[in-house]
């Protein structure tokens, strides 16, 4: 029986102390963690590392989290990655804007450790379920192709 591979999480925040805090917490929980300090760097890391989850700050220089999220959703190689938006703003408008941009969830700062763990766990379960659906769809497609080939 093979062991499950560690999940990969990309933490994107322009504040070094927040990146370091999240990196440490998530690494301690057994995840492989990558970091980026702005949206442009995040796009490059997401394509290169193909993380299972991205924790994405909204307010950043160069490219903010909303635009980064939109661009991640537009790219075929990154559109499937689960995204939790992070923000110090406590506003329903930001929540709605995050969802419209393509985020899967929203987490306020300062980050509550228990809430972070629950939301990360939840997003990773959703990703696992989607991976299983994708695997089953591919299997069904291959079986249908074999059936069609057998008819000829």
Q: What is the CATH number of the domain that holds 75?
A: 3.40.50.2300
Q: What is the mean pLDDT of the chain?
A: 88
Structural domain contains residue 84: yes
Structural domain contains residue 142: no
DSSP string, the chain: -PPPPPPEEEEE-S-HHHHHHHHHHHHHTT-EEEEESSHHHHHHHHHHH--SEEEEESS-SSS-HHHHHHHHHHSTTTTTSEEEEEES---HHHHHHHHHHT-SEEEESSPPHHHHHHHHHHHHHHHHHHHHHHHHHHHHHHHHHHHHHHH-
| Total number of domains constituting the chain | 1
User: Rounded mean pLDDT of 97-125?
Assistant: 85
What's residue 79's pLDDT?
92
Segments forming the whole domain that contains residue 55: 8-127
Structural domain contains residue 22: yes
pLDDT at 151 over 90: no
Structural domain contains residue 65: yes
Structural domain contains residue 110: yes
Structural domain contains residue 152: no
Structural domain contains residue 20: yes
User: Rounded mean pLDDT of 13-21?
Assistant: 94
pLDDT 10s digits, 112-129: 888 888 889 888 898 888
pLDDT at 39 over 60: yes
Structural domain contains residue 146: no
Structure-model confidence comparison of residues 5 and 113, the more confident one: 113
What's residue 1's pLDDT?
39
């Amino acid at each position: 029986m093979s062991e499950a591979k560690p999940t990969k999480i990309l933490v994107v925040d322009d504040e070094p102390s927040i990146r370091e805090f999240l990196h440490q917490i998530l690494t301690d929980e057994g995840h492989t963690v990558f970091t980026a300090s702005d949206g442009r760097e995040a796009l490059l890391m997401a394509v290169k590392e193909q993380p299972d989850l991205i924790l994405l700050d909204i307010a950043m220089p160069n490219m903010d989290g909303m635009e980064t999220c939109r661009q991640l959703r537009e790219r075929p190689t990154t559109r499937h990655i689960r995204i939790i938006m992070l923000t110090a703003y406590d506003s329903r408008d930001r929540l709605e804007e995050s969802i419209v941009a393509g985020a899967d969830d929203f987490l306020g700062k300062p980050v509550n450790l228990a809430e972070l763990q629950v939301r990360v766990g939840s997003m990773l379960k959703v990703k696992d379920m989607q991976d299983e659906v994708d695997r089953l769809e591919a299997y069904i497609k291959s079986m249908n192709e074999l059936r069609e080939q057998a008819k000829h």
